[in-house]
C-alpha cells in the first residue's frame, strides 16, 4: 500500500511538472558560447499566447546541438525557429532551453509523445559559415498575415563584448524539411560563427520579412566607345536596387577619364 501511495505521488508530481511546463506564459531557447550567453541568461523569450492571437508551441531539443519551436496561427503551424550550434564551433557552443516542454513536436511538425525522440544527428546542417569581416545591423525578422503576428528583434538582446549577429541569407533555398522560405541568422564570437538560428516559413498563410541587405556583387561592364572600341568599367551591384559603378576608361584619343555606369 505504501509503495502504491509513493508511486501515485510520483505520478502526480510528474503530471504536475508537465502541466506547469505547458502553462508557463513563456519559455526560452538560447546558447552558451565559451561561458557567455549571447541570447540572454534564459535564452530568447517565446510567448505562448501572443497579443496577435498567434502562439509559440513547444518543440524539442536534441542534446546540446539544436532546439526548435513552432509558431501557430489560426490552428495551423506557419513557422519554425531552430537554434543549432555551428558545426565548426561544436567544441564550445551548447544549445539550451528554459521551461520549454521537450518532445511535444517532431521537426516535421507532427505531435511527439512528451519525450525526446531525436538525437543530435537529426539537427539541420550548420556547416560552411564564413567568419564575419564587416559589421552588420542586428537582425529584425517579422511574421505577418496582413498584421504583424510576431517580430524577432535582435536589438533587444544584451550587448556582450565580442558577440555580433548578422543575417547571412533570406530566400527560398533553405535545404530544410518543410521550409518554403527562410531567414538564416548567425551569432559570432570575435568574428567566428558559433550559433545559427533558422527562421523558416512553413506555410503560405503568412509572409516572412527581414532587414537583410544582399551583399554587393562586384564585376565589370563593357562600355561601347564612340570610336567603336569597348572599355571595361568596374561595378558593384546590389541585387534588387539600382546600383552604379565607377571606373577609369581610355578614350579613343588616349585620354583617361573617370566614368560612372548604372544598372
242-263 confidence digits (pLDDT tens) = 456 666 766 656 677 776 666 5
191-240 confidence digits (pLDDT tens) = 999 999 999 999 999 999 999 987 666 656 666 666 666 666 665 554 44
Residue extents of the structural domains in the chain: 2-210, 217-262
Neighbour-count burial for 226-245, b at 16+ CB within 10 Å, e otherwise: eeeeebebebebeeeeeeeb
Identify which of 171, 181, 175 has the alpha carbon closest to the alpha carbon of residue 128. 175
Query: Does this model's pTM top 0.85?
Result: no
34-43 confidence digits (pLDDT tens) = 999 999 999 9
- Which among 51-65, 78-92, 116-130, 231-245 has the top mean pLDDT? 51-65
What distance in Å separates the CA atoms of residue 137 and residue 165, rounded to the nearest whole number?
A: 8
Q: Supply the DSSP symbol for 10.
A: H
- Grid cell listed for 176: 530544410
- List the beta strands (DSSP E) in the chain: 26-33, 44-47, 55-62, 66-73, 76-85, 93-98, 140-145, 147-153, 163-171, 181-189, 192-201, 207-210, 217-224, 230-237, 244-250, 256-262
Is the distance from CB of 81 to CB of 95 less than 8 angstroms? Answer: no
Q: Where are the alpha helices (DSSP H) in the chain?
A: 2-23
pLDDT at 222: 66
Give the HSE-up count for residue 161: Cα atoms under 13 Å, Cβ half-sphere: 0
Neighbour-count burial for 182-219, b at 16+ CB within 10 Å, e otherwise: bbbbbbbbeebbbbbbbbbbbbeebebbbbbeeeeeee
53-63 confidence digits (pLDDT tens) = 999 999 999 99
The angle subtended at Cα 183 by Cα 182 and Cα 188, nearest 5°, is 140
The angle subtended at Cα 114 by Cα 113 and Cα 118, nearest 5°, is 80
Amino acid at each position: 500500500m505504501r509503495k502504491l501511495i509513493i508511486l501515485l505521488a510520483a505520478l502526480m508530481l510528474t503530471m504536475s511538472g508537465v502541466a506547469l511546463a505547458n502553462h508557463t506564459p513563456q519559455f526560452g531557447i538560447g546558447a552558451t558560447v565559451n561561458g557567455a550567453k549571447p541570447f540572454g541568461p534564459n535564452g530568447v523569450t517565446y510567448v505562448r499566447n501572443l497579443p496577435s492571437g498567434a502562439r509559440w508551441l513547444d518543440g524539442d531539443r536534441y542534446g546540446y546541438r539544436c532546439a526548435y519551436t513552432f509558431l501557430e496561427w489560426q490552428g495551423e503551424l506557419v513557422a519554425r525557429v531552430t537554434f543549432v550550434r555551428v558545426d565548426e564551433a561544436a567544441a564550445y557552443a551548447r544549445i539550451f532551453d528554459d521551461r520549454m516542454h521537450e518532445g511535444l513536436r517532431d521537426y516535421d511538425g507532427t505531435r511527439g509523445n512528451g519525450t525526446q525522440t531525436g538525437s543530435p544527428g537529426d539537427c539541420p546542417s550548420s556547416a560552411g559559415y564564413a567568419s564575419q569581416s564587416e559589421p552588420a545591423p542586428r537582425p529584425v525578422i517579422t511574421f505577418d498575415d496582413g498584421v504583424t503576428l510576431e517580430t524577432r528583434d535582435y536589438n533587444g538582446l544584451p550587448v556582450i563584448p565580442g558577440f555580433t549577429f548578422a543575417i547571412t541569407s533570406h530566400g527560398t533555398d533553405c535545404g530544410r524539411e518543410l521550409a518554403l522560405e527562410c531567414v538564416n541568422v548567425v551569432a559570432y564570437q570575435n568574428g567566428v560563427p558559433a550559433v545559427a538560428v533558422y527562421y523558416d516559413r512553413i506555410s503560405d498563410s503568412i509572409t516572412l520579412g527581414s532587414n537583410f541587405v544582399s551583399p554587393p556583387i562586384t564585376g565589370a561592364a563593357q562600355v561601347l566607345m564612340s570610336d567603336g572600341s569597348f572599355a571595361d568599367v568596374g561595378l558593384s551591384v546590389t541585387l534588387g536596387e539600382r546600383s552604379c559603378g565607377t571606373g577609369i576608361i581610355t578614350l579613343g584619343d588616349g585620354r583617361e577619364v573617370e566614368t560612372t555606369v548604372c544598372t
